[in-house]
Chains A and B, each alone.
Chain A
């Protein structure tokens, strides 16, 4: 009883601000809701419309492709940064703070700067021009190019958070294990694959899950930088949700997209959990 009372404030907050809204979204997804407050129960029509819509399928495919580019990219950058920071003795706080800075920077402002960097006449293309490359249509070309550019910007912005989690994981690995491995003649690579990676698995799993969820919920990067274009090359599922709700006032349909997104992310997280978080045999 005392335990329940202890967690009650958090439990109430969770139910009121997390659980009930989720149920509310599900309820809304079964209606045709008007901004005047009137609504009509339409059953699973919004879900049927989603699964028969070409735009929805394309948005889902675009989101998947984006996730496939973004998640490995940010994992790689975050892990590499964490490993380097773990080895640095002098000035590590300074570098840690500097690398974390993009995470707390206003993305609207940063997005405008990245737009300029990626512009056909921007500094990146000017640099490529020096070695007779380009101009590369980073944000206006084919879908893989546009999504890679957007994923790079999102990774630049978000890797600091994952890096800190991985760094904490690295610091929790006992130094004696590396010392023993060195005495046994294990190479640096072998130490990484046989000590670091296995013991970092819980942190890696957490980072993988949150970054996968982040990838499926990508919106602000696209909103600021491409508006979903060109030719829907970056039209993600959440952007579709946003358009459906706030641009076209199909709030029931938008809620259905939200529920579908929730289910997709939940399933992917479960699969990741089974694959990565399993106990050692």
Chain B
């Protein structure tokens, strides 16, 4: 009973928040305030720089640099963990104590926009309208209004453990689905699964099923976004590809439920020969574990299409912020051509600007940068996450052999369409 009441207490907190004044402490700036008054902007940053100490130092310095260049704004960068980010952010916005700016992904942004949690950030593009990757700006735009500016861009691509392929007598690294299927039994005979797949219920499908679906020429949503389109020949081909690989030992035995941790996982212990949706820091872990000679960074896998998931980090203005001008000044600074290379170097990610080129000295990074040409930032829909949650368990069922491919996708389609209509 206590726990139940605690749960309902949260509900009251939300109700009280609804009744509270719309003014927020997160935004100290008052429109029309006297000139010379310092305006406070709070920004939530996540561990895009994986090393905690380096991250603290980097953003601490960034805060000082910004304030030195913008005397009228008191910037507070609060570092947050990735874990439970939506719970914290949603609660913070609902209670009026959230940040003015926060980094969101393309699948989060429309959901927060639909829930009234965002405000326009169009001013951040003044003077730099055409400087960013078009796909990144599209990801920041909902119904014609832009709510964020991209400050970095991740990209995934295929990374191979060449030694595992050599040991199985596969001399040419597979770059297409057909080649993966052909090589899978040879590696399985050596006790190695050719490809990694992470079906964990907590995983985003953007890093597991969707890239393969896009490579097959399919899409998650119909063009109007009101129904799903994954129960298609392309969707069936994708799931069949995974099921067939599973049957011949081409995927890890626990592919239906495992997470995507590279450190200590099959990709770094030699039990799995390739990952098709890895980011650069994960390739670095493989290199550290297997040696530089063993790891090859390739292009995104190809079937009908050659596509890779790449995620722009969107510095987004929340509805807490009442001062667009100050928020835009901060957003401009962190998305500038001057700041982008510094962040790229520290994080291992890439700039979302077209006028910033990757560091040519970093060979692994350069291979990842090439994959940016194939980047797809997910499919934008305010219910993208709910649809993902509908599809995920049915993929697990198919991989565990509890459902056929047709039944799994048909069930998922019915469930997801009900979500979209609701």
Contacts and interface: CB of A to CB of B under 8 A. Distances in A.
A94 interface: no
Contacts of A245: 10
B325 interface: no
A25 B8 contact: yes
B298 to A, nearest CB: 29
A259 B390 CA distance: 24
B246 interface: no
Nearest to A120: B254
Give 7 closest A-B pairs by Cβ, nearest first. A36-B116, A24-B12, A25-B8, A229-B201, A25-B11, A21-B12, A227-B201
B117 A217 contact: no
B202 interface: yes
B4 interface: yes
A247 B389 contact: yes
28 contacts: A20-B12, A21-B8, A23-B12, A24-B12, A25-B8, A28-B11, A29-B11, A33-B14, A33-B15, A33-B18, A35-B93, A36-B94, A36-B115, A37-B18, A37-B116, A49-B422, A55-B390, A139-B257, A140-B400, A217-B3, A229-B257, A230-B199, A230-B396, A231-B256, A231-B397, A241-B7, A249-B111, A249-B115
Give the one of B13, B18, B90, B394 with max A CB within 10 A. Answer: B18
Interface string A231-257: 110010010010101111101001100
B400 A231 contact: yes
B8 A255 contact: yes
A255 B385 contact: no
A27 to B, nearest CB: 6
A92 to B, nearest CB: 29
Given A34-B115, A228-B201, A249-B115, A140 B4 contact: no
B386 interface: yes
A251 B422 contact: no
B115 to A, nearest CB: 5
Given A229-B200, A230-B256, A230-B396, A24 B16 contact: yes
Interface residues of A, number: 52
Given A55-B415, A231-B394, A231-B402, A25 B256 contact: no
A228 B319 CA distance: 32
Nearest to B118: A36
B33 interface: no
B3 A243 contact: no
Contacts of B199: 230
A249 B89 CA distance: 11
Task: Classify the secondary structure of B's interface with A.
Answer: helix
Classify chain B's interface size.
35 or more
Given A27-B15, A140-B257, A261-B4, A38 B400 contact: no
A21 B115 contact: no
Interface in B255-295: 256-257
Contacts of B253: 120
Interface string B10-29: 11111111101010000000
Interface in A8-64: 17-18, 20-25, 27-29, 33-39, 49, 53-55
A247 B90 CA distance: 9
Contacts of B5: 17-18, 21-22
Contacts of A29: 11
B21 to A, nearest CB: 10
